[in-house]
Structure 1
Amino acid sequence: MATMARQVPKMGVTLASDRVIYPLIVLLLFFAAWQYGTGLFGIPNYLLPTPSDFLGKFVSDWAALSYHFASTAYVVLLGFLIATSISIPLGLAIASYPSLRRNAMPLFVFFEIIPKTITAPLLIVWFGFGFSPRIALTAVMTFFPILVNSIAGFSSINPRLGLITRSMGATPWQTFRLMRVPAALPHIFSGMKIGMVYAVAGCMTAEFVGANEGLAYLILSASSFMDTALMFAGIVATALLGMLLTGALLALEKWMMPWRNERS
């Protein structure tokens, strides 16, 4: 037992190094090759800026980058929360009533097939410029993957288990809270992680079509001045936003499903 106890911290350190240190080393090697490769092959900075050029923009243009970063993050979070608050209860309803699934799902699939990029100008006509069309497009793009995974999660329990729990004296609320929700959570979080990626993409699409703030607006403004270093800085900031929000979602997943951590 003492030997096993000594091995557990070692395994934790090894896992931490595998997840953090090694990817960081690969990233640093990639940036080093980029930094010296552009000069080696004679690529001009106005076409492909070096990492030192666009990372320096986070210092020289910090005020602009932080402002537009916060604007995009606000739209992504609000659109994601709206889509989540609608799609999960709707997924439960569709999973609980087969007639609703037969009648409603073809309609949702029809609207999902429509490319969302062509609906962005229509949303601007309806809601005008500002946060409203961006939030609406973000919520629309996030809605479907969370809905589909919520339906799969709430449908994953064998109905006979509900009969068994009721025969043992459990109330419908206890069956739902202690059996159906825990079984559905892995599917729901899978859909939410996909939806978070779609939320960032939807917000950027709306900003490209029509916005006066946000990271996509910053990238478009920088392109009009041929400031490729600032454009790359905006792209990196967008990637960082997606990583931060996905990391927060992973932390929430671990907190809400502690039994998966114990199993792993």
Structure 2
Amino acid sequence: MNLNSAPITLKFEGNKVSCSSCSLSQLCLPHGLDTQELETLDGIVHHKPQIERNTILFRSGSTLKGLYAVRSGSFKTYRSTSDGAEQITGFYFPGELLGLDGFGDNIHRCTAQALESSSVCALTIQDFENLCCKIGGLRRQLMHLIGTEINQDHETLMTLGQMRGEERLAAFLNNLSLRLEQRGFSASEFNLSMPRHDLANYLGLAVETLSRMFSRMQDEGILTANRRNIHILDWSKLRVLAHQDQGCGNNY
């Protein structure tokens, strides 16, 4: 599917997935729910087995129809500027929610697109609203996730506004490694699912500048970068450069 294709239509009557048995449940909506509440949630959450790379999940300006938890793969979100250019606003990985941007007036403010072959768990807004009336823990978890989104926006603004280019890249890599580690992946060696032009766009850098940043970090012994494969060699140097000596916050 090309970049200008219409959003996919998720069939919510599809395969059900057990939230109680999902390895990502502690990072997602089910966190903090008791056994009975999990069973209730299990009954209405549905799984979209495969979403191909570049597929649009939802588009800016479209009506909010559901919440989507990333089950595998990764997504980017972006908004279009007045001249039609793309401004990337975030990257999302397994256990993270897409669709919260539409909660204000039921209209999505950004477009969500798969960076690779991915899958999501889907929950219709009607089902979600009904559940929130019955399950207090779900409301609390949603408030927590919305708070995390707000903190993410604040961290991003601070990073782009106050840090030099190399510091922005270091902060992003430090944060990404933490998020991957929380999901059971290696924190030291991983592949970037986003192409460099997307990462450069997100960090407010030219692609050539980003490439120079990676080369400089390699020369300084901080990491090795082979195409999209990143291997962190010196955590101390990386965190000092990112101004996050004690680790970093969540969700760049």
- The TM tier, using the shorter chain, reads under 0.3
In terms of fraction of residues, the more strand-rich structure is: 2
Bigger CA radius of gyration: 1
Q: Which has the higher contact order (CA 8 A, sep 6+)?
A: 1
In terms of fraction of residues, the more helix-rich structure is: 1
Q: Normalising by the residue count of structure 1, what TM-score does the alignment of the two structures yield?
A: 0.26
Q: Normalising by the residue count of structure 2, what TM-score does the alignment of the two structures yield?
A: 0.27
